[in-house]
Structures are given as structure tokens and as C-alpha cells.
């Protein structure tokens, strides 16, 4: 069983439009609502590939019901804590000119009582899982070191953890030494405190985090590709050449792919290659976390892995 933690899930609403103009009335051509949030996207990809998943975090209101109903239909074991207020909705607007605009709502505030309920539930769930994936932003009311707390609890039970978040939650989470982190380049820049002007600078930053105790650092670099540092070795895989419709969920697809590779004990080069293929395939569909497997397999045969150091 893989346990996914989504502290701030969302209903993702994907719109298409000819153009988005600020300060004007914008009429959308189409709209589609799906269960989302980074950890939920990871969960969706894992289920598509047949892995047993338990999902936990916080859900509230009608939006929370929508997400839980969707996951249960995908045969996900749902162990969420219900909260007052409404789970957020996020808007992803895809314009014909190629621009993608995201509007992200804040989630409901989480009180001390609900936090304790979640921590108690999390402790119990650890007894039946092999790997824990923590993804996404932290809801209002939760401490910035919440991921560090969860990582430490898993370590005490000998369970590997993967972390994909941003800001201070990422910084404090790194201090707890998760097995794998998956920042994008901007998130990595926040951690190191300066701009990373080229790939060599990204490599140096990833190596510094690896030297500080993070066993595996994976950096998603958008259309450039994916970089991996593991065991002091640095590998890079270019993104697959595809017609991009929607990039939301590509980083989450990398996380899900690496989770599968960890379970299957794949060597690093193969894990990186598969992650690049699955992430690129995700970009070809409007639905985030919905992988066209035929496309992913075709890309897998095309992507090459380069050792940088």
C-alpha cells in the first residue's frame, strides 16, 4: 500500500478560451471539473497503473464530497479528516495563444482539534503502508513544519517518504531528511536563496541538498526535462516531444512514476526515463493526472538518459 497525503486538495476546473484579457469579461468555451491537488493527482496516476493507494488529508463541504466520490470510484481507500468549510477550487485557463493561467483558492482553516485527528489517523495508517508521498501546499492553520513532523513519524517506523511542496514547508521538510524530494527549478531556487541561471547551477544546488542528507533529489525542469541526483550520480532526461495541451499535473506524474520505481526497485536511469515519459504524456491531455498509457510507452522508447556527473 502506498499512502498519499494531500493537506490542501482541490476541485480543479479546467477552462478553454480564445484569449484571457484582464479587466474585461472573459467567456469560457468549455469547462471541466476534476478531483485535484498535487497529492490527489499522484493518487490518480498510481491507480491508473494498478497500485493500491490509501489517500488521506483534509476534505470539507460539497467539493470534498466530489473529490472523495471520485477517488472511491477509482478504488482508492479514502481516510480523510472532514473539516468545516469548503475544500477549495482551482481554475486553470488554457488560451488558444498558448498561455496557461492558474487561479488558486486558499483552503479552509484547520483547527488544532482537526489537526490532532489527522495526526492520530496518520499514525495508524503508517502501519499498513510501504511508502508515504506528501504533496502540495499546506492549509491555513497548519504549522509550517507539518511535513517534517510526518516525515519523522514515518522514519521511526522505517518507512520511506517522498516530499513535493514549496516555500517554508519544503525548507522545513528537507531538514527532516525525506528519502526523495521533487522541487521544480523555482522551488529549488527558493531553497538555495539565489537564481539558478543554467543546468549546471541546478545540478550544484541539487547536489548540495543530497550532501545534506536527502538521498534522492529529483528536479522537474518543465519542457527541458527531469534531473536526478542519487548516490552522488547526476542524470538528466529530456522531456518527450509532444503537442502540449495542459502542463498541470506533470510534476505530480514525475512523483507518481518515481513511487512506482521505488516499489519495483528500478535502477535510477530507468526510473528517470520512465518519469520523463509519463510526465510528457500527461501534458498531452486536458485532464491532469490522466496518463494516456500508449503515449507514455511510445515516449519511453524515445527518451534517452544522459549522465552529467
Q: Annotated active-site positions, please?
A: 252
DSSP three-state, residue 93: strand
Q: Measure the CA–CA gap between 68 and 47, rounded to whole angstroms.
A: 14
CA separation (Å) from 184 to 97, 266, 279?
24, 23, 13
Question: Minimal CA–CA distance to 263: which of 139, 145, 130, 119?
Answer: 130
Question: What sign for the dihedral angle of Cα 278, 283, 285, 289?
Answer: positive
Q: Measure the CA–CA gap between 257 and 154, rounded to whole angstroms.
A: 21
Helix axes 167-175, 185-192, angle to 10 degrees: 70
Amino acid at each position: 500500500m502506498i499512502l498519499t497525503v494531500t493537506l490542501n486538495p482541490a476541485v480543479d476546473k479546467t477552462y478553454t478560451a480564445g484569449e484571457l484579457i484582464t479587466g474585461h469579461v472573459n467567456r469560457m468555451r468549455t469547462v471541466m471539473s476534476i478531483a485535484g491537488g498535487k497529492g490527489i493527482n499522484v493518487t490518480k496516476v498510481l491507480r491508473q497503473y494498478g497500485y493500491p493507494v490509501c489517500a488521506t488529508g483534509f476534505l470539507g463541504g460539497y467539493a470534498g464530497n466530489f473529490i472523495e466520490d471520485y477517488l472511491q470510484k477509482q478504488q482508492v481507500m479514502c481516510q480523510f479528516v472532514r473539516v468545516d468549510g469548503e475544500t477549495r477550487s482551482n481554475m486553470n485557463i488554457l488560451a488558444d495563444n498558448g498561455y496557461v493561467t492558474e487561479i488558486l483558492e486558499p483552503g479552509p482553516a484547520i483547527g488544532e482539534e482537526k489537526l490532532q485527528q489527522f495526526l492520530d489517523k496518520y499514525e495508524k495508517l503508517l502501519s499498513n503502508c510501504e511508502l508515504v508521498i506528501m504533496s502540495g501546499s499546506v492549509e491555513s492553520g497548519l504549522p509550517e513544519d507539518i511535513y517534517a513532523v510526518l516525515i519523522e513519524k514515518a522514519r521511526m517506523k522505517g518507512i520511506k517518504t517522498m516530499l513535493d511542496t514549496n516555500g517554508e514547508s519544503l525548507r522545513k521538510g528537507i531538514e527532516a531528511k525525506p528519502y526523495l524530494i521533487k522541487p521544480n527549478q523555482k522551488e529549488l531556487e527558493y531553497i538555495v536563496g539565489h537564481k539558478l541561471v543554467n543546468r549546471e547551477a541546478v545540478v550544484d544546488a541539487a547536489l548540495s541538498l543530497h550532501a545534506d542528507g536527502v538521498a534522492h533529489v529529483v528536479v522537474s525542469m518543465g519542457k527541458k526535462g527531469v534531473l536526478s541526483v542519487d548516490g552522488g550520480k547526476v542524470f538528466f532526461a529530456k522531456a518527450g516531444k509532444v503537442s502540449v495541451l495542459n502542463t498541470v499535473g506533470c510534476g505530480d506524474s514525475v512523483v507518481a512514476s518515481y513511487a512506482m520505481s521505488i516499489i519495483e526497485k528500478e535502477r535510477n536511469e530507468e526510473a528517470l526515463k520512465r518519469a520523463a515519459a509519463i510526465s510528457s504524456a500527461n501534458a498531452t491531455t486536458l485532464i491532469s493526472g490522466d496518463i494516456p498509457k500508449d503515449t507514455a510507452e511510445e515516449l519511453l522508447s524515445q527518451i534517452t538518459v544522459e549522465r552529467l556527473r
